[in-house]
Amino acid sequence: MNIKKYLKDKLYVIITFSIIYFILILMFMAFKINIQVTLVSSILLFLFLVIILTTEYYKKKSFYTNLLNNIEALDKAYLVLETINKPNFYDGEILYQALYEINKSMNEFIKMLERQMADFKEYIEIWIHEVKIPISSLSLMAHNHKDKFDKKTSEQLKKIENYVEQVLYYVRSENAEKDYLINKVSLKKVINNVALKNKDDLLTNNITLKVENVNYEVFTDSKWLEYIINQIINNSIKYKRNINDSIIKIEAVEEKDKTTIMIEDNGIGIPSTDLPKIFEKTFTGYNGRIKTKSTGMGLNICKNLCEKLGHKIYAESKVDKYTKIYIVIAKNNFYLV
């Protein structure tokens, strides 16, 4: 609290006091009252004013300074009420009460939103499980009746499947709850699953998949890591260059405290101005605009999933040369259940 501003605020008190004091002195003079009496009463009156103003100032100062400091210190400012004592002056009490009511209503609102979010998430998860049933039926039908379904049907089905999966992982990555399970996972197995998933796409696009040195075990959630690698491979396929020897190379390096997975392609690459932003939500960039319709969600979901799992993800790229995505998994069995 600033003393100048406080005094300015109390200017009316000082002015009123001065006027009354001035009238009083005039009266004292009119009644010819002894100068000593005038002096003593003047001192007493001034003392009265100063005491009133300073006690009020310090009372308020201690409350408001505390309040402001705590707001500053908290990362969730709305929790400030829990950290301060109820003030012992009237307008402070009103403020405190008002804050309390505001807080309460906001908490109720947040609770309601949280409940809505949870319901929505639950619904999405159920919906996804349900929509997978007709997709499964269709893919079986496409396989059994090759005469009626051509290869394009399966390709489109695979796209639907990918988009559906993206929603699922988006919901999972955006939610605060912990719905993953960290386990000792064979990296080779995870990569094999991704490879099988993308086999047809890689073969029809004439892309060579090279997998080297992946016989390691890492601490992660296998489903999530599978999704992340799958997303990166999908991007590599989508943004391949029109050359004859397209390659996607997956390699891992194990060090004392971490395992790094590198996924490298020789596709169109990412302009250096776009590179720092590729993990941002709904960022599409130059490539997203020229090549295909891009939602700009894929890599953002990857990043969020990585953050939740405690992995690091980053990219290096050179236009028309390569894109390398690195995933760093710490070798810490601290997470193990």
Residues that bind another protein (CB under 8 A): 128-130, 132-133, 135-141, 143-144, 157, 161, 168, 179-181, 183, 188, 192, 195-197, 199, 202-203, 206, 208-211, 221-224
Residue 25 or residue 211: which is nearer to another protein going by CB? 211
Residue 215 or residue 332: which is nearer to another protein going by CB? 215
Residue 157 or residue 319: which is nearer to another protein going by CB? 157
Name the residue with tokens 């309460």.
104
Q: Tell the smallest beta-carbon distance from residue 251 to another protein (Å).
A: 13
Structure tokens at 176: 């605060």
Residue 161 or residue 274: which is nearer to another protein going by CB? 161
The H or E element containing residue 18 is helix 11-30
> How far apart are alpha carbons 174 and 171 in whole angstroms?
5
Q: Tell the smallest beta-carbon distance from residue 209 to another protein (Å).
A: 4
**How many helices and strands (H and E) does the chain possess?**
10, 7
Residue 8 or residue 159: which is nearer to another protein going by CB? 159
The H or E element containing residue 99 is helix 90-144
Nearest to 306 by CA among 173, 152, 170: 173
Q: Tell the smallest beta-carbon distance from residue 107 to another protein (Å).
A: 31
Residue 181, SS3? coil
Q: Tell the smallest beta-carbon distance from residue 298 to another protein (Å).
A: 17
- Long-range CB contacts (< 8 A, 24+ apart) of 24-27? none
What Cα–Cα distance (Å) separates residue 313 from each residue in 141, 178, 206, 213? 38, 20, 27, 19
Residue 108 or residue 122: which is nearer to another protein going by CB? 122
Structure tokens at 62: 């201690």
The C-alpha angle 192, 130, 162, rounded to 5 degrees, equals 40
Q: Tell the smallest beta-carbon distance from residue 231 to another protein (Å).
A: 15
Q: Tell the smallest beta-carbon distance from residue 139 to another protein (Å).
A: 5
